[in-house]
A = this chain, B = another copy of it.
């Protein structure tokens, strides 16, 4: 997927893509992540995307905005995005700084994220 050490691993599980961000991404890495993800949504006909940010100990406004952008792009490609694993301290800091995840769905961890997508599928309501 990536040249160089994998900063983000994207795994496929059924019609869901699970992207784990292993480290803070800079501008160009974020763009590469976007491209990889959007390409794989098409390739695997993914209907759900989970972005796991549990490894991040800081989410700044750039990262937050980029994650929201990725969710918007995924949505236009027909996939619902759930962001999981925001650490308590990170959540505190984000809210303290007036940031959030906008309209993007969040869940506690990977398991809850998968459960959320399963529920969406169940009600046939994947608005994505």
Contact = CB atoms under 8 A, between A and B. Distances in A.
A18 to B, nearest CB: 16
Copies in the complex: 2
Interface in A28-55: 34, 38-39, 41-42, 45, 47
Nearest to A86: B76
A21 interface: no
30 contacts: A38-B88, A38-B92, A39-B88, A41-B108, A42-B88, A42-B108, A45-B108, A72-B100, A76-B86, A76-B91, A76-B100, A76-B106, A77-B108, A78-B84, A78-B108, A78-B109, A78-B112, A79-B108, A103-B127, A105-B127, A105-B128, A107-B128, A116-B126, A116-B128, A119-B124, A120-B124, A122-B124, A123-B124, A124-B125, A125-B125
